[in-house]
């Protein structure tokens, strides 16, 4: 048999949703290349995408259902048949329901692959009864809610529109690690004369051709945003016609930000006043402006207000709804893409808790407590905060089911593991949160070993438990087409297989100046911040930083940014990832290292009251004093999982994780 090329797309929890060409020979993928049908990604894949053959055919992949034979966490399992697995799980489900009721089951899911199908489980568990579940997210829930409250929705100009910008502010995002395809559009804008401002405690200036770098103290972003707003208003560098016509609460906002003086911002944000003035001058003079907001600023207890404050700058300057302008956080143009086969019974009494507080929920929930934990598309023991707290909690759960492709730290705690499929082994539709496209991925190869798609697992269990199979339909192209219709999306899978689909007029967000807020305007003053979340209707930070100058025993702020070669804890199996996990690095400023007698390459212990991890010092000229950084997503056996040190607190709004509110000390490691 010769070689065939099959077009598909990458549905990982990543900005890009790349178009992919999979080369298949004798039923196996032999090569992966970027496809050219997606204008945003344009044939360019990242190192992870190029490594998919390593990933799909990794010898570490779980091939069969398995039950635990060793202690929790030891990773000793025995292969069983699917029949035995389904039998065993259905007995456990019935036992929980009969003894403590459906609330004794906790369903936990996070961000594995994206797609319509990721909600298939609701057709099963809503028949099981009012089970326990999660809300919020480890990733961007605080920011999404902040932008929605301010603008009424989360949409943004198409990636290729960036080339028309005169000024690009990249606030807390490093596309060279997390969104490589965006660099092309940034460079095109620069070649046409655009200026770049980067605002980040880690200096991304070299990779982004930045003209001005603002090395801000982590978590103080909202203060800087309000100070910039204040200075723009004072200078008269705002679009007063736009403000009058399309915004709400400007007078209150103007009075409020007048207290955020340059002296105050300079002190709180650790910045030279000249830098702030320089940024304001660029904003006042270079048009149009696009402000790209990364996801780090919401990972603090004041995260929602941080993002709200930042999002208001383009509204002040009238850069919304125009070519080359806008505020970019997430593109949720296809928010109506939802799994429609969901029975509605019992869900009103469902018990839910913040995803970031899984450990606490297991420890604290009574009547009933959590008897059975079901985990799919997630690896909380690596990715949730407070790993040790979560481990203690997991040991108390009677039964854990995990569905995964790999033996993650979490899977090692399961009682039964079911082998999942990679996205090359089934089909689905999805949208990315960066581009305006609707995409599909299709079945490229037959399932590897005995892996099954989640829908098949739920169908097998549904039959066994006598559930209504109308809510658990056979998952194939026909069903997806029906789903698309039910979601009012007028395109078929057949069309999507030819290439990603773009709605007309989706290049410029808010072109019609329609804002889905109660005032029908962009809300500087947002009453729902108070009525929904009990927070100030104007972004306020005056109480956030009192007494934080001295962090006592743990003076270093620990960040855990994303590594280029991983998405969260995924892709640990590819070669590039193995290299970095063999020698995890702690990025530390020269002065912080000197004060601790740490030299480049030294083995370092990083600790706080929650625990201790180890890494090798990388003296980094691009990170500010008082801040250290280790890439997140490293497994337990690397001894460098940052979440040993993080806490289960949540953000001001929308139940987000606050990974960056984490303080540590670091010292040279003496192997005693």
Binding string, 49-78, against ligand SF4, x = CB under 6 A?
Answer: x-----------------------------
Using CB under 6 A as the binding rule, whether residue 568 contacts ligand SF4 is answered as no
Nearest residue (CB) to ligand SF4, 443 versus 557: 443
Using CB under 6 A as the binding rule, whether residue 617 contacts ligand SF4 is answered as no
Residues 198, 210: contact at Cβ < 8 Å? yes
Residues 6 or more apart from 443 whose CB is under 8 A from it?
A: 424, 425, 426, 427
* Residue 88 Cβ vs ligand SF4, minimum distance, rounded to whole Å: 35
| Span near ligand SF4 by CB under 6 A; candidates 12-20, 239-247, 403-411, 661-669 | 12-20
* Residue 429 Cβ vs ligand SF4, minimum distance, rounded to whole Å: 15
Nearest residue (CB) to ligand SF4, 12 versus 631: 12
Among 45, 401, 403, 489, binds ligand SF4 (CB under 6 A): 45
Kind plus residue range of the DSSP H or E element containing 581: helix 575-582
* Residue 184 Cβ vs ligand SF4, minimum distance, rounded to whole Å: 12
* Residue 566 Cβ vs ligand SF4, minimum distance, rounded to whole Å: 10
Using CB under 6 A as the binding rule, whether residue 10 contacts ligand SF4 is answered as yes
* Residue 663 Cβ vs ligand SF4, minimum distance, rounded to whole Å: 31
E strand segments, 476-571: 522-523, 556-559
E strand segments, 105-200: 105-109, 132-135, 167-171, 195-199
d(CA 585, CA 422): 30
- Which among 125, 18, 99 is positioned nearest to 430, based on CA atoms? 18
Nearest residue (CB) to ligand SF4, 17 versus 86: 17
d(CA 274, CA 278): 6
Using CB under 6 A as the binding rule, whether residue 111 contacts ligand SF4 is answered as no
Using CB under 6 A as the binding rule, whether residue 17 contacts ligand SF4 is answered as yes
| Span near ligand SF4 by CB under 6 A; candidates 43-51, 412-420, 518-526, 608-616 | 43-51
- Which among 603, 593, 601 is positioned nearest to 638, based on CA atoms? 603
Q: Which of residues 186-205 bind ligand SF4 (CB under 6 A)?
A: none
Q: Which two tokens stand for residue 23?
A: 């080369």
Nearest residue (CB) to ligand SF4, 580 versus 646: 580
* Residue 40 Cβ vs ligand SF4, minimum distance, rounded to whole Å: 10
Residues 6 or more apart from 277 whose CB is under 8 A from it?
A: 231, 262
d(CA 669, CA 672): 9
Using CB under 6 A as the binding rule, whether residue 46 contacts ligand SF4 is answered as yes
| Span near ligand SF4 by CB under 6 A; candidates 41-49, 129-137, 273-281, 299-307 | 41-49
E strand segments, 16-90: 19-25, 28-34, 66-68, 77-79
Using CB under 6 A as the binding rule, whether residue 115 contacts ligand SF4 is answered as no
- Give the CB-nearest residue to ligand SF4: 49
d(CA 294, CA 221): 11
| Span near ligand SF4 by CB under 6 A; candidates 45-53, 477-485, 558-566, 601-609 | 45-53
Residues 116, 480: contact at Cβ < 8 Å? yes
The DSSP call for residue 216 is: P
Q: Which two tokens stand for residue 187?
A: 């460079």
d(CA 155, CA 158): 9
Nearest residue (CB) to ligand SF4, 110 versus 247: 110
Using CB under 6 A as the binding rule, whether residue 279 contacts ligand SF4 is answered as no
* Residue 44 Cβ vs ligand SF4, minimum distance, rounded to whole Å: 8
d(CA 198, CA 182): 15
Angle between helices 221-235 and 273-285 (to 10 degrees): 60
Using CB under 6 A as the binding rule, whether residue 144 contacts ligand SF4 is answered as no
Among 38, 48, 104, 586, binds ligand SF4 (CB under 6 A): 48
* Residue 206 Cβ vs ligand SF4, minimum distance, rounded to whole Å: 21
- Which among 428, 576, 376 is positioned nearest to 17, based on CA atoms? 428
Q: Is 637 helix (H, G, I), strand (E, B) or coil?
A: helix
Residues across the chain: 672
Among 8, 18, 232, 433, binds ligand SF4 (CB under 6 A): 18
**Interface ranges with ligand SF4 (CB under 6 A):** 10, 12, 14, 16-18, 45-46, 48-49
């Amino acid at each position: 048999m010769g070689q065939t090329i099959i077009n598909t797309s990458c549905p990982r929890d990543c900005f890009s949703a790349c178009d992919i060409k999979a080369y298949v020979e004798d039923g196996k993928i032999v090569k992966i290349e970027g496809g050219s049908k997606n204008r945003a990604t344009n044939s360019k894949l990242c190192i992870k995408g190029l490594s998919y053959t390593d990933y799909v055919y990794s010898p570490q992949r779980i091939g069969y259902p398995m039950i635990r034979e060793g202690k929790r966490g030891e990773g000793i399992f025995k292969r069983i048949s699917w029949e035995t697995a389904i039998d065993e799980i259905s007995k456990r489900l019935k036992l929980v329901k009969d003894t403590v009721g459906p609330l004794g089951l906790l369903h936990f899911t996070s961000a594995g692959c994206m797609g319509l199908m990721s909600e298939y489980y609701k057709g099963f568990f809503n028949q099981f009864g009012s089970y326990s579940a999660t809300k919020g997210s480890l990733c961007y829930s605080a920011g999404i809610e902040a932008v929605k409250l301010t603008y009424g929705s989360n949409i943004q100009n198409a990636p290729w529109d960036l080339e028309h910008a005169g000024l690009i502010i990249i606030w807390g995002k490093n596309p060279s690690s997390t969104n490589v395809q965006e660099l092309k559009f940034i460079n095109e804008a620069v070649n046409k004369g655009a200026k770049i401002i980067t605002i980040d405690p880690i200096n991304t200036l070299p990779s982004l051709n930045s003209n001005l770098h603002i090395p801000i103290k982590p978590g103080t972003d909202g203060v800087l945003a309000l100070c910039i707003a204040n200075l723009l208003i004072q200078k008269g560098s705002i679009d007063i016609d736009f403000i009058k016509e399309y915004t709400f609460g400007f007078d209150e906002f103007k009075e409020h930000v007048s207290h955020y003086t340059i002296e105050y911002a300079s002190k709180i944000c650790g910045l030279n006043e000249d830098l702030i003035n320089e940024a304001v001058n660029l904003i006042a003079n270079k048009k149009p402006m696009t402000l790209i907001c990364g996801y780090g600023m919401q990972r603090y207890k004041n995260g929602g207000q941080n993002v709200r404050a930042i999002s208001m700058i383009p509204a002040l300057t009238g850069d919304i709804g125009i070519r080359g302008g806008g505020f970019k956080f997430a593109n949720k143009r296809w928010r109506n893409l939802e799994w429609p086969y969901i029975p509605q019974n019992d869900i009103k009494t469902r018990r839910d808790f913040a995803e970031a507080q899984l450990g606490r929920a297991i420890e604290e929930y009574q009547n009933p407590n959590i008897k059975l934990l079901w985990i799919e598309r997630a690896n909380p023991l690596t990715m949730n905060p407070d790993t040790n707290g979560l481990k203690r909690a997991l040991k108390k759960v009677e039964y854990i089911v995990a569905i995964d492709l790999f033996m993650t730290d979490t899977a090692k705690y399961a009682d039964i593991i079911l082998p999942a499929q990679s996205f090359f082994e089934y089909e689905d539709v999805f949208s990315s949160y960066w581009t305006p496209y609707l995409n599909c991925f299709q079945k490229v190869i037959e399932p590897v070993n005995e892996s099954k798609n989640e829908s098949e697992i739920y169908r097998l269990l549904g039959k066994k438990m006598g559930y209504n199979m109308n809510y658990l339909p056979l998952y194939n192209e026909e069903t997806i087409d029906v789903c698309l219709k039910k979601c009012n999306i007028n395109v078929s899978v057949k069309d999507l297989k030819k290439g990603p689909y773009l709605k007309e007029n989706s290049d410029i967000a808010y072109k019609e100046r329609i804002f889905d807020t109660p005032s029908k305007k962009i809300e500087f003053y947002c009453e729902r911040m108070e009525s929904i979340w009990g927070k100030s209707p104007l972004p306020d930070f005056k109480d956030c930083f009192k007494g934080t100058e001295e962090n006592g025993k743990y003076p270093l702020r620990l960040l855990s940014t994303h590594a280029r070669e991983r998405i969260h804890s995924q892709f640990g199996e590819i070669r590039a990832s193995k290299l970095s996990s063999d020698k995890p690095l702690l990025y530390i400023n020269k002065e912080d290292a000197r004060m601790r007698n740490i030299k480049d390459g030294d083995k370092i212990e990083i600790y706080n009251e929650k625990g201790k991890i180890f890494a090798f010092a990388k003296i980094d000229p691009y990170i500010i004093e008082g801040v250290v950084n280790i890439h997140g997503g490293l497994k337990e056996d690397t001894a460098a999982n940052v979440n040993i040190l993080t806490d289960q607190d949540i953000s001001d709004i929308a139940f987000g994780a606050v990974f960056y509110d984490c303080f540590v000390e670091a010292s040279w490691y003496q192997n005693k």
